[in-house]
Amino acid sequence: MHVDDAILSRKSVRRFLPEPVSLETVEHLLKVAGRAPSGSNIQPWRVHVVGGRARERLSDAIMAAFDAGTADHRPEYHYYPEHWFEPYLGRRRRCGYGLYESLGIQRDDKQKRLEQMRRNYLFFDAPVGMIVTIDRRLEAGSYMDTGMLIQSILVAARGQGLHTCAQAAFAWYHDIIREQLGLDDNELVLCGIALGHEDPEAPENHFITEREPIEAFTTFHGFV
């Protein structure tokens, strides 16, 4: 697959088929993604891959905590701003409303919205899950580096005919993940990634988010 096609066909898949993904395939795409750049080549990331019973145990533990209430669970970093403002608020709302509309969930149906949120912790039924961490002693540049690794994983997966969903939702349950996977104390949980074969019949997988035209985010200097 041409790299342009891999990038353009990448999307957040939220329902996967039960078809397995081999360990060899996962190892291959991680070797490819591991070529992501990082400042001074420090490679500040770690990836914990879960499948089979390990994935089930992790999902079960997180969903039990989710069902008990989320008040005691917070990520160790700020993903979103405390106070939203435009144009980001509008983009976020269009994304959320569009997803729920594809699923037939009304905006005021809190129960069904919670049920959909809960599916994050099943890795949306994907056979393979990943937890991406960063060494907490590092600084902002290493977050950018790890973001490039994550994007490389998503694109490399397309090269293998697979789909993914990057899931910041896992950061809320870092304490459970730490216990389940035996993370080092210096590992800060950034996100999860669901990996597998897309369910083409799932309506939520037909929801494609819009993108701004390059004129909206690019300024050219020195071009005639």
* pLDDT tens-digit map of 81-104: 999 999 999 999 999 999 999 999
- The answer to whether residue 15 sits within a structural domain is yes
> What is the average per-residue pLDDT within 156-174?
97
pTM: 0.95
- The answer to whether residue 106 sits within a structural domain is no
| Residue 209 DSSP SS3 | coil
Angle at alpha carbon of residue 87, lines to 82 and 90, rounded to 5°:
80
Domain count, the chain: 1
- The answer to whether residue 161 sits within a structural domain is yes
- The answer to whether residue 96 sits within a structural domain is no
Domain span at residue 45? 3-78+121-209
- The answer to whether residue 112 sits within a structural domain is no
> What pLDDT is recorded for position 72?
80
Domain at 54, CATH number = 3.40.109.10
- The answer to whether residue 93 sits within a structural domain is no
141: amino acid identity, one letter: G
| Res. 57: pLDDT tops 90 | yes
- The answer to whether residue 107 sits within a structural domain is no
* 8 A C-beta contact, residue 199 and residue 205: yes
| Res. 70: pLDDT tops 80 | no
- The answer to whether residue 86 sits within a structural domain is no
69 band by pLDDT with thresholds 50, 70 and 90: confident
